[in-house]
């Protein structure tokens, strides 16, 4: 029988990618030596470490899940601010969905950033991620 506080299958699937990302991408950024890329990679490394801890034991490391949600929100806020500065306040939708535009930054903030800040504040996933009524309870508690 599996204990409730033991690592889930999600941990075992993602842990190798977290570890590889931290080792390989960080070493590549340090070799390149650019300050911006090192700062960005260190933020992503922190996100990987928090994800690693949160998936390892979501009850014990509830703060790691909240921290990851906050980092995701802040990344999308920074992306939106950068795009507003870069586009000089022009709000145009592009012909390609993959273009970096203010519109796509707002969409990213709504789709990923808002749930991230909800997790950071409440410690729970937003209601629209729930499967049924039994899942409405706090998923990080006993």
- In this predicted model, what pLDDT tens digit does every residue of 67-106 receive, in sequence order? 999 999 999 999 999 999 988 877 776 667 777 888 888 9
- How confident is the model at residue 36, as a pLDDT? 86
117-122, long-range: CB < 8 A, 24+ apart: 117/69, 117/70, 117/73, 118/69, 119/65, 119/66, 119/68, 119/69, 120/66, 120/67, 120/69, 120/70, 120/73, 121/66
Report the alpha-carbon distance of residue 128 to residue 142 in Å, rounded: 22
Lowest mean pLDDT across 26-30, 74-78, 117-121, 129-133? 129-133
**Do 94 and 101 form a contact (C-beta atoms < 8 A)?**
yes
Tell which residue, 86, 75, 51, has the closest CA to residue 65.
51
Share of the chain above pLDDT 70, in %: 80
């Amino acid at each position: 029988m599996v204990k409730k506080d033991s690592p889930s299958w999600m941990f075992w699937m993602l842990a190798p990618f977290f570890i590889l990302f931290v080792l390989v991408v960080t070493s590549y950024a340090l070799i390149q030596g650019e300050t911006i890329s090192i700062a960005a990679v260190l933020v992503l490394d922190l996100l990987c470490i928090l994800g690693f801890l949160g998936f390892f034991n979501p009850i014990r490391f509830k703060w790691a899940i909240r921290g990851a949600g906050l980092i995701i929100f802040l990344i999308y806020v920074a992306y939106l601010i950068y795009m507003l500065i870069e586009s000089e306040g022009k709000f145009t939708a592009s012909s390609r969905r993959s273009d970096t535009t203010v519109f796509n930054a707002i969409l990213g903030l709504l789709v990923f950033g808002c749930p991230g800040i909800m997790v950071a504040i409440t410690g729970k996933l937003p209601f629209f991620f729930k499967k049924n009524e039994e899942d409405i309870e706090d998923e990080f508690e006993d």
